[in-house]
Amino acid sequence: MNLEKICVLGLGYIGLPTASTFASHAVKVIGVDVNPHVVQSLQNGILHIYEPGLRTIVQAAVQSGNLVIKPQPEAADAFIIAVPTPFKDSKKADLAYVEAATESIVPFLRPGNLVILESTSPPLTTINVVAPILEKSGLKAGVDFKLAYSPERVLPGQILRELIENARVIGGINQESAEAGRDLYRIFVRGDIILTDATTAEMVKLMENTTRDVNIALANEFSRLADRFGVDVWEAIQIANLHPRINILSPGPGVGGHCISVDPWFLVEAAPDITPLILSARQVNDEQPTFVVDLLKRVLGKPLAESSIAILGLAYKPNVDDMRESPAVEITQHLIKAGAQVKAHDPFLPGKEIQGIQTTNTIEEAIQNVDVLVLLVAHQQLKDLTAEKIKAANANVIVLDTVNAWTIESFNDTGIKLYKLGVGK
């Protein structure tokens, strides 16, 4: 099929890299976002998100004229929907963005077009939600236009590379739709392209992230058990993983991001009667920030309202600026609400006020004159922080490491007490 012009709806962590990658392969791309600030910034070559290498490729795509940023879609050969799918307070999928983006395509849909949903969605969303909206155009899905689901499967911090190199799953509402999706992504994808049906493709993405979530929940429960039994969970995991058929993941302060912490709820919502394990894992990981706060209370030995605390790391994972569903932010806000005096530093978000959290420009500024330092994210810059540097900034501070970045031995000669998540010794 003719694929000379593509319209990408949603210019966030997935849509913008996707649009710019197509544009860098000599395809005309209309990048659409409903946020006026995002549109204006990108038109001026200014990015609203951080991803290594993204600024260069976006600026080149805009300057070449292959990527044009607009607030609304226009006629194209293919439409890619890459908008957020958050969950509501009830832990049910909020498909409002998907529905609105799909509605905006309807006036421009023409026979022969291809529409692909990339947004992570509950099973049957493509067939039961997207298709009926598009058919308001008077065209029939799978007959007059092609419709498919192709989930993003990339890691923040590695998005540009993994978009190209990772295997791509394309689920069509019929075989012709799946093949059209393959033709589209083959423009830049070097990895395998696997064709299936739309609902299977939706399940694949949810299964991948749910598997991670369940395994992390197990690791987090191990950290709680180690704390109770006087064991070093990190040592125990290292020994257990010597077994050729065991691969226990690392515990931490919780699970964040827009995928692992969200996607399992879509399966629980779709079939609550047959997903007790998935639900339990979600509950364990959602409760982990509370466990960290309780651990911190024990470390302090006094009420939070009488304590001053330095937080290192606010992103949901190392070496990115993404704070979506971040357990570090949840923990910090809990401490503030409890009356603690809190300063926070994230090397990817220096000096910015974030959701009511006071941040500092430097690590040293955060550490000075506090009772306790809590490491919540294993950014490389934070892992490189030595016990000597911490002592130079605050010789009386207590340290709590929740990500196993530092060793107790490295603190022994400093006089600073280091506590660790999952170490009950």
- Cβ atoms of 38 and 19 closer than 8 Å: no
| Torsion, Cα of 92, 94, 95, 96 (10° steps) | 150
- What count of other Cβ atoms lies within 10 Å of the Cβ of residue 113? 24
| Torsion, Cα of 403, 257, 263, 279 (10° steps) | 40
381 burial (CB, 10 Å; 0-12 / 13-18 / 19+) is: middle
- Cβ atoms of 168 and 194 closer than 8 Å: yes
User: Residue 123: CB partners within 8 Å, gap ≥ 6?
Assistant: 199, 202, 203, 206, 266, 267, 270
Active-site annotation holder among 205, 317, 343, 420: 205
- Cβ atoms of 221 and 284 closer than 8 Å: yes
259 is annotated as an active-site residue: yes
3-class SS at 367?
A: helix
Active-site annotation holder among 7, 146, 259, 317: 259
Sign of CA dihedral 140, 146, 148, 150: negative
How many whole angstroms separate alpha carbon 348 and alpha carbon 7?
31
User: Residue 174: CB partners within 8 Å, gap ≥ 6?
Assistant: 142, 146
| Torsion, Cα of 44, 50, 52, 54 (10° steps) | -30
C-alpha to C-alpha distances, 385 to 203, 362, 368, nearest whole angstrom: 41, 12, 14
Catalytic sites, residue numbers: 205, 259
